[in-house]
Amino acid sequence: MQVIPKKDGMKVAQFRFRTLQARLLVLLLIPVVVILLLGGAASFWYARDIMLEQWNESAAIKLQRAAHYIEMRLLKPVDLLNALFQVSDRNAAIVSPEQVVDFLQVMDGVVSAEYDPAGSLQSLKEMGMPGMGYMDRMNVDMHKGMRFSRSRIASVSGPQYHAGGDGRTVTMRITLSGPSEERLGHLDIRMEFDYLLKDILSLGWWQSDMACIVDESGTYMAHTNMTMTDRRSLGNSNDPLEQAILKKMDSQSFGTVSSQGHPPDLVAGFYKLDQVPWTIIMFADGRKILGSIVTYRNVLAFGIFVLAGLVLVLIRFHMCRIVNQIQQLSSKAQAVADGDYGSPIPVESRDEIGNLVERFNAMVRGLKERDHIRNSFGRYVDPDFARTLMKHPEAGQLGGSRREAVMLMSDIREFTSLSETLEPELIVTILNRYFSHMIEIIREHQGIIVDFYGDAILVFFDPLDEPLLKTVRRAIQCAFTMQDRMPSVNRELKAQNLPDLSMGIGIHAGQVVVGNIGSATRAKYGVVGSAVNITGRIQELAQKGQILISDAVLDKVKDQVTVMTSVSKDLKGVDQTMTLHVIKPG
């Protein structure tokens, strides 16, 4: 992907393919693979959700059935007591507490049953003490039996789980009240915990999957996983799945939770008993539940891989010749971009590729014929800036336009007298050394060299699309850099036993005509106007190492330079006196 700037300054991200093969791979192979992947993923998730939903429904039925069995066995003594009291009350039969306790103790799963009388019934019991007559005691016992027979169940306490040396048991207290709502006593019934699970253990899901029963605090009461014998409560191992189960149990009576992974390693379902503060939790292997869908996923992935490989082979087999021709055309285009036009590319076919080669050869011929447009900008313009100029249509045409520009002119001081004492070959050597440095600096600052006048250089800075203020600052920075480079120039001259040089620079800004000057066969991009002549006059007044600027330039760079001295001069060709300033970096 490549970021391409637009004219308004915004940047847009676009894809750029380096090779045709890459384009074909992206535009053909990737869409096919993406479509298959999306379709496969959609079908996979759809089937996965259906299978999980089926497991959730199955788990709900199993857990609900297990809860029903546990509650039915746990509350069986309560149901029998209700039935017994209803029958005795309807038939006016007398049932004693001792008979009820004896009846409960012979029930399946009941370890013990005890009756604890209270209130008026306790008082009657105390009346049946030794010393009373036989008939009196009989009357007391009959009265006790009649009141007990007409009692009802006031409340049933939650079962309390006990695990000790005598095994696992559950204790439940049943409170009885009389016809007048007075408390008669309570029955404490102790039952075997394994008896409550008797029918649960016979269900197939209990043996095939891991399951457990926890109380309302999460403490394990029973579990089928032998590896969990040392575990005491759900979630104490910081297992994410168990933590998720505990969190969901706080707000729901039934639910399912899945662990991480696709498919999940484990899925769990829980169900809270209605009458007992216990929760049944069942765990199942996610891979077992989703085994068929995992197989489908693997087959789908393999099929996508095979299809992608087949498409890749077809692309390479059928497009190899076309790609090779286009690569040859691309290499030739790069050579032309580097300035090597070479010989035309042979046309080997009459199809679209051959037509493209013919048009390319015609384009190269046109470039050769129009090279003079590029050359019109001169040899001393930075290539990047020359490309910027060529983007403006008026820059490649004869003629010009009037606008403000900045002119810079430099000259070697006392070079005329120096050239009279040296051989011509040395004069050329000195100038070439000097110009090589100055031209490099001018290019870096995007200056356009108009011409060389002996040892003088005339440069102008064209604002083009930027404010004139930036152009003036660019010209000033160029002048400072030129003066800073002179010590390096003199060191190189001294190494060849040549004399030192010193330079003066003048800078002015004003209205000029900018454009191509010349003829249809040979043109030069430059400037003409009085401002150019004024720049030459200012340069003549600059002393060794000085940079002399006009007021038009100073107004735009006051914050960047320091004025060392100012002088008012009457310049030739200028009606008014001009104030000039010698500057140094601020």
Cα angle: 360, vertex 362, 365; to 5 degrees? 115
101 within some domain: yes
In Å, how far are 30, 87, 116, 126 from 149, measured between CA atoms? 84, 9, 15, 19
In which residue are the tokens 């930075």 written? 382
Instruction: Indicate whether 456 and 346 sit together in one domain.
Output: no
The pLDDT of residue 19 is 67
187 within some domain: yes
The DSSP secondary structure of 52-93, one letter per residue, reads HHHHHHHHHHHHHHHHHHHHHHHTHHHHHHHHHHHHHHHHT-
Structure token digits, residue 250: 């706080």
Instruction: Indicate whether 345 and 391 sit together in one domain.
Output: no
Instruction: Indicate whether 365 and 511 sit together in one domain.
Output: no
The pLDDT of residue 472 is 93
Rounded Cα distance, 55 and 284, in Å:
10
Amino acid at 208: S
302 within some domain: no
Task: For the chain, count helices (H), then strands (E).
Answer: 20, 20
Instruction: Indicate whether 354 and 407 sit together in one domain.
Output: no
Q: Return contacts of 260-264, CB within 8 angstroms, 24+ apart.
A: 261/286, 263/48, 263/287, 263/289, 263/290, 263/293, 263/294
Instruction: Decide which of 369, 387, 421 is a domain's last residue.
Output: 369
Rounded Cα distance, 78 and 91, in Å:
20
Instruction: Indicate whether 540 and 514 sit together in one domain.
Output: yes
In which residue are the tokens 């575990």 written? 231
Instruction: Indicate whether 402 and 357 sit together in one domain.
Output: no
Instruction: Decide which of 196, 227, 243 is a domain's last residue.
Output: 196
Instruction: Indicate whether 428 and 343 sit together in one domain.
Output: no
8 Å CB contact between 524 and 378: yes
318 within some domain: no
The pLDDT of residue 275 is 77
The pLDDT of residue 538 is 94
What radius of gyration, in Å, describes the C-alpha atoms of the chain?
A: 53
Instruction: Give the three-state DSSP class for 569.
Output: strand
The DSSP secondary structure of 253-301, one letter per residue, reads SEEEEE-STTTTSEEEEEEE-SSSSEEEEEEEEHHHHTHHHHHHHHHHH
Instruction: Indicate whether 365 and 390 sit together in one domain.
Output: no
Cis status, amide bond into 263, omega within 30 of 0: yes
Instruction: Indicate whether 535 and 399 sit together in one domain.
Output: yes
444 within some domain: yes
The pLDDT of residue 566 is 93
The pLDDT of residue 562 is 92
The pLDDT of residue 302 is 83
307 within some domain: no
CB-CB neighbours of 525 under 10 Å: 23
1 within some domain: no
Instruction: Indicate whether 577 and 446 sit together in one domain.
Output: yes
325 within some domain: no
The pLDDT of residue 441 is 94
Rounded Cα distance, 573 and 580, in Å:
16
The pLDDT of residue 373 is 47
8 Å CB contact between 535 and 552: no
The pLDDT of residue 137 is 45
The pLDDT of residue 579 is 93
Structure token digits, residue 387: 């490309």
8 Å CB contact between 184 and 91: no
Range of the domain at 365: 339-369
Instruction: Indicate whether 401 and 499 sit together in one domain.
Output: yes
Instruction: Decide which of 150, 177, 196 is a domain's last residue.
Output: 196
pTM, to two decimals:
0.42
What's the structural domain count of the chain?
Answer: 3
Packing angle, helices 120-127 and 134-149, rounded to 10: 160
Packing angle, helices 30-74 and 291-337, rounded to 10: 160
- pLDDT tens for the chain, 586 residues: list them: 444 555 455 555 455 666 666 776 677 777 877 887 788 778 777 877 787 777 778 777 877 887 888 888 888 888 888 887 777 767 666 677 787 888 888 888 888 888 888 744 444 444 444 444 444 444 444 444 445 666 777 777 778 777 776 678 888 888 888 777 777 788 888 888 778 777 665 554 444 467 778 888 888 777 766 556 667 788 777 788 888 888 888 888 888 888 877 667 788 888 888 877 888 888 777 777 767 777 777 887 788 788 777 877 777 776 777 777 777 787 888 888 777 777 887 877 777 777 888 888 888 877 766 664 455 555 545 555 666 666 665 555 555 778 899 999 999 998 888 888 889 899 999 999 999 999 999 989 989 888 888 899 999 998 877 888 999 999 999 999 999 999 999 999 999 999 999 999 999 999 998 877 766 666 677 789 999 999 999 999 999 999 999 999 999 888 889 999 999 998 888 888 999 999 998 7
Instruction: Indicate whether 481 and 354 sit together in one domain.
Output: no
* CATH number of the domain that residue 386 is part of: 3.30.70.1230
